[in-house]
Structure 1
Amino acid sequence: MAPTLYFIRHGETDWNVDARLQGQRDIPINAKGRVQAAEAGRRLATILPEPDSLPWIVSPMSRTRETAEIARAAIGLPPERYGMDDRLKELTFGEWEGKTWQDLRAVDAPAVATRFRSKWDFVPPDGESYAMLRDRIAGWLQTVGQDTVVVSHGGVARVLCVLRAGLAEADAADADIWQGRLLVFRGDTAEWI
């Protein structure tokens, strides 16, 4: 049986609020994001009696590292005791990072329309598609040998919903991925807590 993954999406950033494409830009979490990170830690403690008994693997982006550190501190764990894996980075939007959909429609409406028709397979200029991210995350999953706490990004959660819970790619590309909650992948299911 596949290991259980306790997934935490990073807390809110100002770019989340502005609906800017973050991708692999290193944007810090904001005040609300810090509250969400602590909430996620407390939720984890309600379902894992010993949350420090599992490895914590975190995307190396500052927003995920800060989320992990706040979540751990909220439940009395040493904040910096976690590992990092580059494969858990968000998908990159390439040249589109830092822009809003409104910005992009003004300069390249046909490409934006194509992306919304086929979110899973669309590759932004110098960017990455969900399909490409799936391959990266599938490689990472092969290295996970035990139950693990994962702190990463919305795109990674969507891919895990496909790989671990069998969600259709088109549905996963549009799935809501919450901040401040846990997405638990157990067996072939995914459940928000």
Structure 2
Amino acid sequence: MAPRCFIVRHGETEWSLNGRHTGTTDLPLTANGEKRIKATGKALVGNDRLVVPKNLVHVYVSPRHRAQRTLELLEIGCRERLPWNAERKAENEEPIRTEASVEITESIREWDYGDYEGLTSKQIKSIRAETGQGPWNIWEDGCPGGESPEDVMHRLDALIADIRGKYQRECFENPDSPKGDVLVVAHGHILRAFAMRWVGKPLTETSFILEAGSVGTLSYEHNNINEPAIMLGGQFVVEE
């Protein structure tokens, strides 16, 4: 099986629940958000599940606490302590299931919404209508005082090249190499953009939805690193 890249949006926060754009503002998960992420971990992480910890080689996580807490709750069982914790959980609390290292990176922080931070789409469109700015589409217009689509593509393209060069190309060049699955834990807009750039599409074609706490799967067609693809339905196979 070709190596995969799992994208996980952080669990529910008060602002995601209300549709407010949450970039630099760091909010905790709601109680329901934590509950749902724990359930997701139990359902999708394991040797006979979608995310197989022993096949993970690296984990990228956003600098925002809500993403880091989401990774904690998934309980993938990293041997190393998580970078933001003083020590690792005892093995009787969280058994070691993966040798993957965890890296905090600005590359997958949420889109910088600038002047639109904390506003809903409805509020943004109302403000633009009142000031004669016309309609708004983040994939085309970006955010005043924040990031443009070109800014976002630049940092995501660099990260995708990093994933392929460091962790996945070898899987195609050397069939005996270990698995090269990668996990990315971040935010709604940036992960939707990440999926589009994974398959080389412009952000203006983005039509994906990634709800809070959900998981997406990216991989390659025909076992070819030059044919990146989005896997519909997750597609997980129980290993022998």
Structure 2 unaligned residues grouped into runs of 5+: 84-101, 168-180, 221-227, 235-240
Secondary structure of 2:66's match? helix
The letter for the 1-side match of 2:184 is V
Partner of 2:194: 160
| 1:56 aligned to which of 59, 72, 75 | 59
Distance 2:52 2:120 in 1: 41
Q: Which moved more, 1:75-84 or 1:98-107?
A: 75-84
Per the alignment, in what secondary structure is the counterpart of residue 120 of structure 1? Answer: helix
What is the distance in 2 between the residues matched to 1:49 and 1:124? Answer: 37
2:119 corresponds to which residue?
Answer: 99
Q: Within 2, Cα distance between the matches of 1:10 and 1:84?
A: 14
Q: Return the alpha-carbon distance in structure 2 between the equivalents of residues 163 and 93 of structure 1.
A: 19
Distance 2:211 2:123 in 1: 25
Matched, 1:84 2:104: yes
Kept in 1, the 8 Å contact 2:5–2:219? The answer is: yes
Question: C-alpha separation between the residues in 1 aligned to 2:40 and 2:150?
Answer: 28
Q: Deviations over 1:28-84 (max 9, x none)?
A: 211222123223323132124435743221001011001011112xx5557736321
Give, as a single letter, the amino acid of the residue that structure 1 aligns with 2:230.
A
Offset at residue 18 of structure 1 (A): 1.2
Q: Distance in 1 between matches of 2:196 and 2:52?
A: 28
Alignment of 1:129 with 2:148, yes or no, is yes
Number of residue equivalences: 186
**Does 1:44 pair with 2:45?**
yes
Question: Retained in 1: the 8 A contact 2:61–2:103?
Answer: yes
Residue in 2 that maps onto 1:67: 70
Contact kept? 2:53, 2:77, Cα under 8 Å? no
Give the CA RMSD over aligned residues: 2.4
Partners of 1:11 and 1:179 within 8 A in 2: yes
Matched residue, 2:15:
15
Distance of aligned partners of 1:123 and 1:51 in 2 relative to their CA distance in 1, 3 Å threshold: same
Residues in 2 aligned to 1:107 and 1:180: alpha-carbon distance in whole angstroms? 30
What is the alpha-carbon distance in structure 2 between the residues aligned to residue 100 and residue 153 of structure 1? 16
User: Match for residue 181 of structure 1?
Assistant: 214
Deviation at 1:25, TM superposition (A): 1.6
- CA contact under 8 A between 2:110 and 2:188: conserved in structure 1? yes
C-alpha distance in 2 between matches for 1:182 and 1:44: 11
Quote the offset at 1:129 in angstroms: 2.7
TM-score norm. by structure 2 comes to 0.68
* Alpha carbons 2:11, 2:33 under 8 Å: kept: yes
Instruction: Please report the TM-score for the alignment, with normalisation by the length of structure 1.
Output: 0.83
1:131: how far off? 3.1
Moved segments of 4+, more than 4 Å:
75-79
Equivalent residues of 1:10, 1:179 under 8 A apart = yes
